[in-house]
Structure 1
């Protein structure tokens, strides 16, 4: 109690003297600060530019959990020296605590608006979360321990669960980090449900504190990893992550990387549509990922916070200049090498100095500054959107991909490629956040930005703040009209018409009126679309209409011809095989339209039902 009183008195006495400005916009700016940044990175908490942040995530705390004693589940410090002991930030010798926590308290006093959360888990320390979340006893104990922690440290405003990842994914047990191989991330079939139950216990234990989670970036797995309002019924749930979270951030990075052995982007805002792009198969882009969270999971826009990286990745042995003449080095082979290591190694990144532990991660403080144990100082510190003259002489060129809305660096002499974000791409992403009415931006990680004392300190964080504080014009819109007529030029009413944004599930449905007209007003011009149309007993030419990205510049009308098929009939055919061998004599039944018809497969395993009436549902 004495310690708590000391914190509170210190806060109220010092706060008015040190109070600084806060962001002048209504978006969340959530910055992660890595506990280990005090070491080689030499970036202490007191270097954080708190007037450009709304939330600070302190990463990471771990867990204590023994399945035999679930009542003892609790959070724990992963580095007590960094958290509670060092004095680099100016802590007096007799302060309790010292370390980053003392510095966090001072930061809170200087920026009272700033909400500070402790982030639990991370890439290497999420292994206990499935077990804790699966146990009602452990969930309760864990949440109560969090609440007790906040009583001890009242300048902390809540907790962030960074579980990497529920259901599938995460560290696989082969990665060597600091000479140690962390165990693989375990999973249970109910991880996604148990996460909701854990958040519920946290809310019960901390009803007035902030709770958030960091969700994943896998466009294929996300709909089955996290439960939102849009998919909770699918999993038999009454509640979801939005019931208990104040906001949800998602990883807007590591979509592409060295593991593909092919150059690609770390965090493209939009998909390339290029068949040579390894991210193209699943349309891995921030836009697609955002649409999954908004449409499939139905996370409310203002609760969804998009992740933005302050780092990129470097590729070596880039095979050639690529297949796009204007974008050399993009989407081409860049094989890693194993050498004497067990696993293939990425090139050396900014802080990579341990043999067989290369990440290939290149931070912006390295590109536009002089940080790092392995330098990649290619950009002009005074104008980080340009390349230094010395780098230009060495063969480095900056390219801008106007489709993906990200830059990259390529050196045709050294065969190296760097994907990264700069102020231009950060501006594009911040504008996108405003245009989509998202809750804000999340940053990994603050020490990766340009440093105090540089010509452009906190360049990327400053760009987010600038863009959020500026009126961003929404995308230009036009009216898209479709007119349906038959071969006699007679209007066709009742045609169900769907306008779908290309590469997404975002769509608008209209039905043609008595004059055969459909209107799609306020259609944004910064995307492509596909228009589909259906009506029983009608065929349409063309069958679908495709609008290329960027082709809408004015109001547009499409004329579609429909032909009436009076009671048209069709054939339903198929085959039954064991592998490649057709199975004969298999009984096949077609049920629908109030009747049931039976046939058998022929010697090649094929069957067919003819004279099938259109416009009905059938079961084979």
Structure 2
């Protein structure tokens, strides 16, 4: 499988939009994100953007806004599977409440059906739960409790049950996936072996290994490089940790990053690699990072940056010794390397965050390894 998230808030005139997504080159598309309310109910994040219900009015057609464009994608590529993704970094505050009791779990599962499947028949082929993160490690202010570890499993079990019932009514298969952190101290907060049989796939978010840090460590290294003080913060270590926790290889989808992260105030030693910086570089994306398409357009090597490649980690980096700015990112070569890894290790395929961050070359690099064949 080749699956990609679409971040609809990035859509802009003259830039990326849902109509430009290469649907025939994908098996799955995850629309990010639906929200979870303070009452623990699933719903639209932006009724105007998502469904065309602007200014408090209903859309002029059953499918408005981005959902109308998603419908067109399905019409042109009927084999494409579209999932509604719930939560994400900014939308996971109330998952803990939704998962807390049998009643709250049942209400949440039913609300998913009522918010996304009944009003938009045939549009969504499943649900992707992106709780960031059970127990600990999410955005400041998120609700969290130790019981989240078990409650997450129970929430997914209830959602699986409700989707199975609705599948029978619809006479079509509905998928259920989850997106999970690749960091070891978050993997242990999952009942991975119990979750695996409940879901179709587990999307491993194998990136952001040093997000929020000023350490010049790779955003998404395939393997550890020499001298890395955190040898368990890389794709290979994360995949193996998930498998050791009880997840079959064929249910692991390897997440790849179509963006980079930049750190300022990085010393010149070792081309900046593994050095301690001072802050995220606001000039090159700040704490949100920089999309690959935007990085390429700015031609960093014409602005004083030198490109480096780490054979061990199988990823590139950029460093400006004069301004002491260090950028970790993925390029076509590193994406191809990770895609080959996924194929060689019998994983389900790759998952992309996010499609709008690409200039076209990253997806192409992956498809040369994992071509999507349509009947």
Determine the C-alpha separation between the residues in 2 that align with 1:245 and 1:41.
Answer: 38
Is the 8 Å Cα contact of residues 34 and 59 (structure 1) preserved in structure 2? yes
5 Å-filtered alignment, 1:490-509, equals: none
Is the 8 Å Cα contact of residues 217 and 250 (structure 1) preserved in structure 2? yes
Determine the C-alpha separation between the residues in 1 that align with 2:313 and 2:67.
Answer: 40
Is there any run of 5+ residues in structure 1 with no aligned partner, and where?
A: 1-27, 67-72, 88-92, 173-183, 230-239, 337-345, 353-357, 370-375, 379-386, 451-457, 471-620
Greater fraction of residues in helix: 2
**Which residue of structure 2 lines up, in the alignment, with residue 428 of structure 1?**
337
TM-align CA RMSD: 2.0
Deviations along 1:172-217, whole A, 9 cap, x unmatched?
Answer: 2xxxxxxxxxxx1121112121111111111211113110100112
- Secondary structure (helix, strand or coil) at the match of 1:118 reads strand
Deviations along 1:460-511, whole A, 9 cap, x unmatched?
Answer: 11111111149xxxxxxxxxxxxxxxxxxxxxxxxxxxxxxxxxxxxxxxxx
- Secondary structure (helix, strand or coil) at the match of 2:109 reads helix
Determine the C-alpha separation between the residues in 2 that align with 1:445 and 1:44.
Answer: 12
Is the 8 Å Cα contact of residues 349 and 360 (structure 1) preserved in structure 2? no
Is the 8 Å Cα contact of residues 41 and 98 (structure 2) preserved in structure 1? no
- How much has 1:140 moved relative to structure 2? 1.0
**Which residue of structure 1 lines up, in the alignment, with residue 294 of structure 2?**
366
**Which residue of structure 2 lines up, in the alignment, with residue 151 of structure 1?**
118
User: 287, 308, 313: which is aligned to 2:236?
Assistant: 287
5 Å-filtered alignment, 1:398-413, equals: 398-413=307-322
**Which residue of structure 2 lines up, in the alignment, with residue 214 of structure 1?**
179
Deviations along 1:286-338, whole A, 9 cap, x unmatched?
Answer: 1001100111x121111100110000111222222x1x4xxx221123112xx
- How much has 1:124 moved relative to structure 2? 1.5
- How much has 1:40 moved relative to structure 2? 7.8
5 Å-filtered alignment, 1:130-529, equals: 130-148=96-114, 149-153=116-120, 154-172=122-140, 184-207=141-164, 208-223=173-188, 225-229=189-193, 240-257=194-211, 259-274=212-227, 277=228, 280-295=229-244, 297-320=245-268, 322=269, 324=270, 328-336=271-279, 346-348=280-282, 358-359=286-287, 361-369=289-297, 376-378=298-300, 387=301, 391=302, 394-450=303-359, 458-469=360-371
- How much has 1:241 moved relative to structure 2? 0.9
| Number of residue pairs aligned between Structure 1 and Structure 2 | 358
Is the 8 Å Cα contact of residues 315 and 360 (structure 1) preserved in structure 2? no
Deviations along 1:226-264, whole A, 9 cap, x unmatched?
Answer: 1122xxxxxxxxxx111210110011110024x432311
Is there any run of 5+ residues in structure 2 with no aligned partner, and where?
A: 165-172
Is the 8 Å Cα contact of residues 220 and 282 (structure 1) preserved in structure 2? no
- How much has 1:433 moved relative to structure 2? 0.4
Determine the C-alpha separation between the residues in 1 that align with 2:13 and 2:73.
Answer: 22
Is the 8 Å Cα contact of residues 224 and 231 (structure 2) preserved in structure 1? no
- Secondary structure (helix, strand or coil) at the match of 2:97 reads helix
Deviations along 1:578-598, whole A, 9 cap, x unmatched?
Answer: xxxxxxxxxxxxxxxxxxxxx
Is the 8 Å Cα contact of residues 47 and 53 (structure 2) preserved in structure 1? no
Determine the C-alpha separation between the residues in 2 that align with 1:469 and 1:446.
Answer: 16
- Secondary structure (helix, strand or coil) at the match of 1:221 reads helix
**Which residue of structure 1 lines up, in the alignment, with residue 93 of structure 2?**
127
Max Rg structure: 1
Q: TM-score, normalised by structure 1?
A: 0.56
Q: Which moved more, 1:398-407 or 1:202-211?
A: 202-211
Is the 8 Å Cα contact of residues 25 and 371 (structure 2) preserved in structure 1? no
